[in-house]
Amino acid sequence: MDSDGQYEQQVVWAVVGTGIGPLLLAATREGLVNVVFHATDAVRDKALARLASRLGAEPVEAPGSPLLAEAIRQVGSYFSGRRQAFELPLDWSLTSGFNRQVLRELAAGVPYGAVVGYGDLAGRVGQPGAAQAVGTAMGSNPLPVVVPCHRVVESDGGIGGFGGGLETKRKLLALEGVLPEPLF
């Protein structure tokens, strides 16, 4: 606690190896707050600086933290094909408004092995003409993989964009059986 008896924000992080490369996982007392793709040193450092600025606390590397243990376990199970749904407390503080509404609907309503179109997802949150805004929400998703923005595709069958790169999106969709595994 600080001098006013308030709990100080605590942010812990770890980098875990996955089938799509290193992921940075960050958590607060509320839950998992951030997942960052391609967590090389430079990407990691930039993400941690952004987290410190947005959350008002310096993130601490703590791969053994109880705040991260379950997230690390479930991410490992997902990439090994043993888990299809994440059951983690999530800290939604890095997103708000329409973006949060869309991401919560995505997390709750688009299961493993399924996809949804940008426009369809917009309709699910009562904004049927907001397909582009859904794309923006996907691009700003602070919790990719766990909140499965890779499952949002174009209505014409195209794969759409992806903050982690299209090859990463293809690998995630192949893992879930939506796309065939790449031949090479």
CB 23 within 8 A of CB 63: no
Has 149 been annotated as catalytic? yes
Burial of residue 100 (number of CB atoms within 10 Å: 0-12, 13-18, 19+): middle
Instruction: Judge contact between 142 and 33, C-beta under 8 A.
Output: yes
Q: Which of 25, 103, 107, 149 is catalytic?
A: 149
Picking from 143, 122, 110, the residue whose alpha carbon sits closest to that of residue 37 is: 143
As a whole number of angstroms, the distance between CA 101 and CA 92 comes to 10
Bridge-based pairing state of the strands 23-27 and 32-36: antiparallel
Alpha helices (runs of H) in the chain, residue ranges in sequence order: 41-55, 66-79, 97-109, 118-124, 131-139, 166-175
The set of catalytic residues is 149
